Amino acid sequence: MPELPEVEVVRRGLARWVIGATFEGVEVLHPRPVRRHEAGIDDFVSRLEGVTVVDAVRRGKFLWLNLDSGEALLAHLGMSGQMLLEEPDAPDEKHLRVRLGLAGAQGRELRFVDQRMFGGLAVVEMVPTPDGGPGGLGGTPADVVPTEEPRDDGVIEGTYEAGEALIPAPVAHIARDALDPALDVDLLAARFKRRETGLKRALLDQTLISGIGNIYADEALWRAKLHYARPTEKLNRPTLNRVLAHAQDVMREALAQGGTSFDSLYVDVNGQSGYFERGLDAYGREGEACHRCGSRMRRETFMNRSSFFCPKCQPKPREGRF
């Protein structure tokens, strides 16, 4: 299940292979992964044909290729999405959804493969962002600014000139991610204080801080010895700093290992599986001994998903927000 480190591995792979390459022969094999491209499949294809990739950028779990047309090919891997660079004559994957032929990518074609199809692709416009650009680890800000006034809906048409960063319109509401050097922790603390919700809910809310999913949230909470239902408004600043630092640590470790994988659903851009699962202390360890105190780890259903925690190290708060 791709979270920030896995998506960053994919971004790096794409940057290595497709920057400077031109789309040539784009084929949509299943309509669902292109559902976010509202103008339809034919428009999706025509906005890519003959267009050249300028950069590969990521914010949280969103990934996009800046195009020389001024638009971006936006991708989200959802639960099971993969971006594979294959020889064109390699047999089609069972769940191949979109084939993107390329000129200038060392003879490879880009394939979007997605079993469960929670993810998808869309060609979207770039808009200015109030927080100063895409940021994110390894991301290069798009170095342009609009020359026309925004429409009523805030979207800016027309040409752009150098000066200010842009972000794909559907990503404008996503907060800077946990590994973004420009993440504003003071702002995050203020928003946590104002919220009436539980800590894990907040960590998973991509409009507060992005990139953290169910697995790394559980790992960060275990390392910080905090229960998932701790109310965010009562969390003091050192405690917030602690859980944030642990989230960053665990994701940096996963990134160093090339991403996490539990089954074969996630592979990086060249088809290599990650292997961080060996380093997990909380996720998936129901009934096993806590690596710190030996207590039996527990699993609780929460937010339509599982939360794994140590009942002794991460005691339930008196007034939790579940």
Beta bridge partner(s), residue 64: 57, 74
Which three-class secondary structure state does DSSP give residue 219?
helix
In whole angstroms, what is the distance from residue 28 CA to residue 300 CA? 40
Are 63 and 117 in contact by the 8 Å Cβ rule? The answer is: no
* Residue nearer to DNA on the CB measure, 37 or 95: 95
Which one from 3, 6, 71, 109 is the annotated catalytic residue? 3
Residue 246 counted as an annotated binding residue: no
Residue 3 a catalytic site member = yes
Residue 321 a catalytic site member = no
* Residue nearer to DNA on the CB measure, 61 or 108: 61
Which one from 59, 61, 111, 230 is the annotated catalytic residue? 61
Are 98 and 76 in contact by the 8 Å Cβ rule? The answer is: no
In whole angstroms, what is the distance from residue 273 CA to residue 139 CA? 23
Q: What is the phi/psi pair of residue 202, to 5°?
A: -65, -40
In whole angstroms, the minimum distance from the beta carbon of 96 to DNA comes to: 12
Give, as one character, the DSSP assignment of residue 274: P
* Residue nearer to DNA on the CB measure, 141 or 213: 213
* Residue nearer to DNA on the CB measure, 173 or 292: 173
Residue 230 a catalytic site member = no
Q: Strands, E, within the chain: which ranges?
A: 22-28, 53-59, 62-67, 72-76, 81-86, 96-103, 109-114, 120-124, 126-128, 145-146, 160-161, 166-168, 298-302, 305-309
Q: How far is CA 72 from CA 5, 68, 112, 127, 243, in A?
A: 21, 9, 16, 11, 34
Tokens of 304: 């339509």
Under 8 Å CB-to-CB from 194, ≥6 apart: which residues?
A: 233
Tokens of 61: 């779990």
∠ CA 10-13-19, rounded to 5°:
120
Task: List residues binding DNA (CB under 7 A).
Answer: 1, 3, 32, 60-62, 76, 78-79, 94-95, 115-118, 170, 173, 194-198, 201, 204, 206, 210, 213-215, 283, 299, 301, 303-306, 321
Residue 227 counted as an annotated binding residue: no
Residue 71 a catalytic site member = no
In whole angstroms, the minimum distance from the beta carbon of 287 to DNA comes to: 13
In whole angstroms, the minimum distance from the beta carbon of 304 to DNA comes to: 5
Are 266 and 260 in contact by the 8 Å Cβ rule? The answer is: yes
Residue 58 counted as an annotated binding residue: no
In whole angstroms, the minimum distance from the beta carbon of 72 to DNA comes to: 14
Which one from 16, 234, 292, 305 is the annotated catalytic residue? 305
In whole angstroms, the minimum distance from the beta carbon of 79 to DNA comes to: 4
In whole angstroms, the minimum distance from the beta carbon of 49 to DNA comes to: 26
* Residue nearer to DNA on the CB measure, 151 or 194: 194
Tokens of 42: 């034919």
Which three-class secondary structure state does DSSP give residue 214?
helix
Under 8 Å CB-to-CB from 235, ≥6 apart: which residues?
A: 192, 193, 199
Annotated binding site for DNA: 95, 116, 195
Annotated binding site: 95, 116, 195
Which of the residues are catalytic? 2-3, 61, 305
